[in-house]
Structure 1
């Protein structure tokens, strides 16, 4: 049976979460706290849980300050945050200081148990109501980036220049191979750097590979 310390300043919520956890016969609430300082004090007395479930906004010591303290004294104990506030500021703050998981209090029992098990396995977990919009934003940015690349006007000659640069040819060697002047090659190279916003040829090549312009 996994041992849990539960930190929540609202007693009704704390009692409800405790009853839910212990109804499974898989978890036991080892200690209940109304603020982060009580959690630290319990650990100092030798109460070592498998996981800590904590609110953020609590008097005396909030969840973020508690995690910062735990990083120094008990860094191996995972902390799962359960917050009433469903916003990304709290998510980023808590994950940044070291929380391993983040749930809103609107999650159902199944997701709560799933999150606990993920953390006990050494993994991270963010509730679906927050992580899905984040994934959507990443996909949207990626699609937008790809669209910009696809819409970028590369001439057939510029593609040839990119391919030859990737083969390690010098400007003179490219000029000889394409039957054009060295100055023309330099002009194409600079045009590619300007179009892609690259600082130098190395960055240009990385851009070309990442975006599938050359293989």
Structure 2
């Protein structure tokens, strides 16, 4: 897999490049110190699979970079590598479209797993990050939603939930499932009621918690 790295601390950037280059099947194509440089590189560099980016950087950080990439380079995946372990930061990253969220304290083996998971089209969040989401009182699940098998989710609602968690828009979900956008929104509302959540972040959190994506 071909990777771009963004990190504003140059010593750490060099260390990350060396570390990732030592992972099997990984080629570090170029390194950058802010998100804007990454966007420029993506315009001129072919066949990039993943951008590994720090969360906080000058000029353009990881969240803004993720948002821009979803618009301009939707086929390139992005993994945020950061020390930020606040639930708010994680939720912001999910909403921005990050495919992975790995703490800088992670072992090389975890980073390797993250890259291979993401390049296959799946999401990856560090175990510590999942624990943060599970403990975050800002998004609570109802007691009766403690286990997925206890919830009367229909197969079609499950299809919609998985696509929501994969960042598809309502229109895109409608096209993939051959249903109307109105029906998609109806399923979304029913899911929120059944799972006891108020936002799309809550739906994504549930999907992550029970490995639906």
| TM-score, normalization by structure 2 | 0.62
1:56-75 matches, cutoff 5 A: 56-75=55-74
> Shift in Å at residue 144 of structure 1?
4.5
1:7-156 matches, cutoff 5 A: 7-135=6-134, 144-145=143-144
> Cα gap change, 1:146/1:31 in structure 2, threshold over 3 Å: closer, same or farther?
closer
Give the Cα separation in 2 of the matches to 1:61 and 1:77. 18
Q: Which of structures 1 and 2 has the larger relative contact order (alpha carbons within 8 angstroms, sep 6+)?
A: 2
Asked whether the equivalents of residues 4 and 51 of structure 2 are also in contact (C-alpha less than 8 Å), the reply is yes
Structure 1 residue ranges without an equivalent (≥5)? 148-215
> Shift in Å at residue 24 of structure 1?
2.6
Give the Cα separation in 2 of the matches to 1:16 and 1:102. 19
Give the Cα separation in 1 of the matches to 2:85 and 2:135. 17
- Decide which structure has the larger Cα Rg and report it: 1
> Shift in Å at residue 142 of structure 1?
6.1
> Cα gap change, 1:144/1:48 in structure 2, threshold over 3 Å: closer, same or farther?
same
> Shift in Å at residue 35 of structure 1?
0.1
> Shift in Å at residue 143 of structure 1?
8.2
> Shift in Å at residue 13 of structure 1?
1.2
| TM-score, normalization by structure 1 | 0.62
Asked whether the equivalents of residues 77 and 98 of structure 2 are also in contact (C-alpha less than 8 Å), the reply is yes
Give the Cα separation in 2 of the matches to 1:146 and 1:22. 43
Give the Cα separation in 1 of the matches to 2:56 and 2:136. 28
Give the Cα separation in 2 of the matches to 1:77 and 1:106. 25
> Cα gap change, 1:142/1:9 in structure 2, threshold over 3 Å: closer, same or farther?
closer
> Cα gap change, 1:137/1:143 in structure 2, threshold over 3 Å: closer, same or farther?
farther
Aligned length: 144
